[in-house]
């Protein structure tokens, strides 16, 4: 069976972008057809400063968010990255395979490091090599992610290909990105040119999976829009990024196409459309948020799920790391 791997950073609250762009697809792939492995990538989170107490809380809450969204720890392997040391071990090998120039071209690096690259962590620069290790330590072939991760997945393929070439082996698979659904790039509610993200300082820019009905309604009511009515055709959304984003979110939450949505709401003002969107978002997200807080009531159970997941993950990862060491020529590996 083909193997699926993906993950999210415990660097803040899970938001609607994570849910529509990633999590929902992870749940869909949890089937007879695939073996599914989903990680909380805490080693990635610390590439920028994380308060240790908050990191612990965010990691457990992320696990609760995975389960509340529909991931089943019996069907999928759910675990925390740092509890499977093989990720960091393989990442070191990949640091030695990947080239500085490849990393320098990454748009996430450029965006997150900003103008002061000299002051960014070395880990932030090497982020994509660790991500390649996350995927390839399981020989995963399918990686469901949002649009923003496309470039990192191409780099994962480059690393696999270069490793195989350098050592004359056919060992690491070339992975396929799975970027699917109506909302592969959900934008900020405050700025239609920026993606919704955990690290945006404005909480009004995103809908968190932990938000209650009132907070969701308020954020949608205050979302940036333009003064025009909604168009009845998709072309009418061109050059209207905020309007397009809200229609897109509606379509994704309601499992409809943009065209279907516009045939129903075309001509309406935002004053009328926003409450419809808020009701829909509350209906879809409130059960997740309720389940998350229930799960967070028993942290020992979450820790048990993570420990069990790490054990199962290591059963797959350890032999692949050993084989990698052997290929590279490390004494004691074979």
Which region, judged by CB under 6 A, interacts with ligand AQP, from 52-60, 97-105, 196-204, 317-325? 196-204
The CB density around residue 235, as the number of other CB atoms within 10 Å, is: 8
Please, what is the minimum distance in Å from the beta carbon of residue 240 to ligand AQP? 18
Tokens representing 76 are 């999928």
9 carries a ligand binding annotation:
yes
Give DSSP secondary structure letters for 217-265. HHHHHTS---SSPPPSSGGGGTT-HHHHHHHHHHHHHTT--HHHHHHHH
The CA-atom distances, in angstroms, between 177 and each of 13, 148, 209, 256 are: 24, 11, 25, 23
Give yes or no for residue 30 binding ligand AQP (CB under 6 A): no
Please, what is the minimum distance in Å from the beta carbon of residue 130 to ligand AQP? 12
SS3 content of the chain, % helix, strand, coil (to 5): 60, 10, 35
Q: Which of 3, 5, 21, 249 binds ligand AQP (CB under 6 A)?
A: 21
199 carries a ligand binding annotation:
yes
Please, what is the minimum distance in Å from the beta carbon of residue 204 to ligand AQP? 15
247 carries a ligand binding annotation:
no
**72 contacts 30 by C-beta, under 8 angstroms:** yes
Buried b (16+ CB within 10 A) or exposed e, 61-72: bbbbbbbbbbbe
131 carries a ligand binding annotation:
no
Q: Which residues are part of the catalytic machinery?
A: 112, 195, 198
Distance in angstroms (rounded) separating the CA atoms of residues 71 and 304: 16
Please, what is the minimum distance in Å from the beta carbon of residue 313 to ligand AQP? 18
Q: Would you say how long the chain is, in residues?
A: 334
For β-strands 77-80 and 35-40, DSSP reports them as parallel
Give yes or no for residue 107 binding ligand AQP (CB under 6 A): no
Q: Which of 3, 4, 5, 22 binds ligand AQP (CB under 6 A)?
A: 22
Looking at beta carbons only, is 83 or 205 nearer to ligand AQP? 205
Distance in angstroms (rounded) separating the CA atoms of residues 68 and 24: 11
Looking at beta carbons only, is 17 or 309 nearer to ligand AQP? 17
Give yes or no for residue 154 binding ligand AQP (CB under 6 A): no
Give yes or no for residue 146 binding ligand AQP (CB under 6 A): yes
Give yes or no for residue 199 binding ligand AQP (CB under 6 A): yes
Please, what is the minimum distance in Å from the beta carbon of residue 166 to ligand AQP? 29
Residues that bind ligand AQP (CB under 6 A): 8-9, 11, 17-18, 21-22, 108, 112, 145-146, 148-149, 184-186, 195-199
**Annotated binding-site positions:** 9-11, 17-18, 134, 146-148, 186, 195-199
């Amino acid at each position: 069976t083909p193997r699926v791997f993906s993950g999210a950073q415990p660097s803040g609250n899970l938001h609607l972008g994570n849910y529509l762009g990633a999590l929902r697809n992870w749940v869909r792939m949890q089937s007879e057809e695939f073996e599914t492995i989903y990680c909380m990538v805490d080693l990635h989170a610390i590439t920028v400063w994380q308060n240790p107490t908050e990191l612990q809380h965010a990691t457990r809450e992320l696990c609760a968010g995975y389960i509340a969204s529909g991931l089943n720890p019996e069907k999928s392997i759910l675990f925390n990255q740092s509890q499977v040391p093989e990720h960091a071990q393989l990442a070191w090998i990949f640091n030695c395979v990947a080239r500085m120039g490849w990393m320098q071209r990454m748009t996430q690096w450029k965006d997150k490091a900003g103008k002061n690259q000299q002051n960014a962590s070395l880990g932030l620069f090497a982020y994509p090599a660790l991500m390649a290790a996350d995927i390839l330590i399981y020989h995963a072939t399918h990686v469901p992610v949002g649009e923003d991760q496309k470039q990192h997945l191409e780099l994962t393929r480059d690393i696999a290909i270069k490793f195989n070439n350098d050592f004359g082996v056919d060992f690491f698979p070339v992975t396929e990105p799975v970027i699917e659904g109506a909302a592969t790039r959900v934008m900020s509610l405050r700025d239609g040119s920026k993606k919704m993200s955990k690290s945006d300082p404005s909480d009004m820019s995103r809908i968190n999976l932990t938000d209650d009905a009132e907070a969701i309604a308020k954020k949608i009511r205050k979302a940036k829009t333009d003064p025009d009515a909604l168009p009845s055709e998709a072309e009418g959304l061109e050059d209207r990024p905020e309007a397009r984003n809200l229609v897109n979110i509606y379509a994704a939450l309601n499992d409809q196409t943009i065209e279907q949505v516009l045939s129903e709401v075309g001509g309406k003002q935002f004053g009328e459309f926003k409450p419809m969107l808020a009701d829909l978002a509350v209906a879809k997200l409130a059960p997740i948020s309720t389940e998350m807080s229930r799960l967070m009531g028993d942290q020992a159970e979450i820790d048990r799920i993570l420990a069990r997941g790490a054990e199962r993950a290591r059963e797959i990862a350890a032999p692949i790391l050993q084989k990698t060491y052997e290929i590279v020529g490390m004494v004691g590996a074979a």
